[in-house]
Structure 1
């Protein structure tokens, strides 16, 4: 029997395009690495040659030594674990609560009209101003979660509600024509049509939840990376402070990559 499988060999034009795309990606990666290495080299050179005070800025080799010093003390894992737990719990609560409130606002235009100015004001309010109040009300541990949730919650509500309102009106009209109710439109049109809005909100909340947790730890915590930053600054151990900041950066990148991978899977 003759082979009827179509020829799957890419065309020359496609191969050239793929090669150009590959070269562009490699250039971007090389550019990022060069920028990072240049920054680290300048950071190492300037304090060692008296251009800046090393007590105020530290330098990469000292930060590396400080990182291993924290590991040798046996408490770095505890501090990272505490911060990660606080971030994940705050992140989950802000997303779930924000989604529920955004859905309620979409289902009830009257409720949205009543709450809209309050949501705008609360979103614009500097959340750091609430830290002492949360500390008095909720104590040292509860205040950390409260600040992190407050930082992420209102932007979650506004982003999701805006996305719901910008859904394709033709699809909504078609669903109504076919006899769909509000709940059916929500579950069959609005929510599936706003997957990208959900993912954008998740990406934004990763950083916001981490910021809220660190701000809360500055005020009240006895463990966590925010505590390490405050403690290191109090004893003028900038290597400890910078090591904690580097770890926070790596945590942010790690969580962001997880969300990005989830977005790719959902989109597919």
Structure 2
């Protein structure tokens, strides 16, 4: 009997992918392609700006942006301002997640509560959250508290609606079966409702990551002398395009790191669930 090779499976009815045969090699090659694509885009940007395909005053150069990042690191701006934005985004994200998940679960579990309070939630949700920033600054001052509360408010609604939808979509038949087997309400929640809602909750968390940064940065841009939002405002006020892009690059790195942490947590908590890639 001959040994089967990976290529033999590519034309089978199951359509076994290369990612399933050799996931490490597939992941490595995927990252190599991503890095090459990024390098090509940056090279095209650099060449186009220097060839005057577009005005470099407004687009800057990738080399100038990385030089601005190096200057920020040498001057201590990164150490001084990045932790402020990180604190505002992380604390606001955690507070908004806990509050939104709790309230969303209550609304999803108790249908009468949802029917009673739904118009009020929708009315508050319809308000542009950025428009609340001046009010929060008026109430809580220009310190870190106003940015945390604004971030938590934005994250709250995203997590709330996803949690609510996840709990409502949980199988009622399965809950009834578990109850017939003698399970009490806490066990039904722990074994059926919560696992069923986790996928929707993590969707809300991943969507909330950039909005958490939006809340922190918008608050800093409106009234603050610290944070990445302040760096962005200062750079644009000085017509420093490279500095502005450097501040945006910092936000991209923070957002990507947050998202990677959420994905890793999702894979760990949902390891029992087969994920279709």
On the 8 A contact 1:107/1:182 being kept in 2, the answer is no
Distance change in 2, residues 1:13/1:57 (3 Å) = closer
Question: Does the aligned pair in 1 maintain the 2:103–2:160 contact within 8 Å?
Answer: yes
Output aligned runs, 1:149-164, within 5 Å. Answer: 149-164=152-167
Q: In the aligned structure 2, how far is the partner of 1:176 from the partner of 1:96? A: 27
Q: Work out which structure has the larger RCO, using CA pairs closer than 8 Å and 6 or more positions apart in sequence.
A: 1
Q: TM-score, normalization: structure 2? A: 0.85
Whole-angstrom distance in 1 between the partners of 2:230 and 2:170:
43
> C-alpha separation between the residues in 2 aligned to 1:226 and 1:182?
46
Q: Which runs of 5+ in 2 are unaligned?
A: 11-15, 272-277
1:101 aligned to which of 95, 100, 103: 103
Q: Is 1:261 aligned to 2:264, yes or no?
A: yes
Q: 1:118 to 1:31 in 2, by over 3 A?
A: farther
Q: Which secondary structure state, in structure 2, belongs to the residue aligned with residue 140 of structure 1?
A: coil
User: Are the aligned partners of 1:102 and 1:161 in contact in 2 as well (CA < 8 Å)?
Assistant: yes
Q: What displacement does 1:26 show? A: 5.9
Structure 1 segment 43-62 matched on structure 2, within 5 A = 43-62=45-64
Question: Are residues 1:229 and 2:232 paired?
Answer: yes
Which residue of 3, 18, 21 maps to 1:20? 18
Aligned position for 1:128: 130
C-alpha distance in structure 2 between counterparts of 1:180 and 1:106, whole Å: 20
For residues 44 and 216 of structure 1, the distance between their equivalents in structure 2, rounded to whole angstroms, comes to 32
Alignment RMSD, CA only? 2.4
**Count of matched residue pairs:** 260
For structure 1, the residue ranges without an aligned partner over 5 or more in a row are 1-9
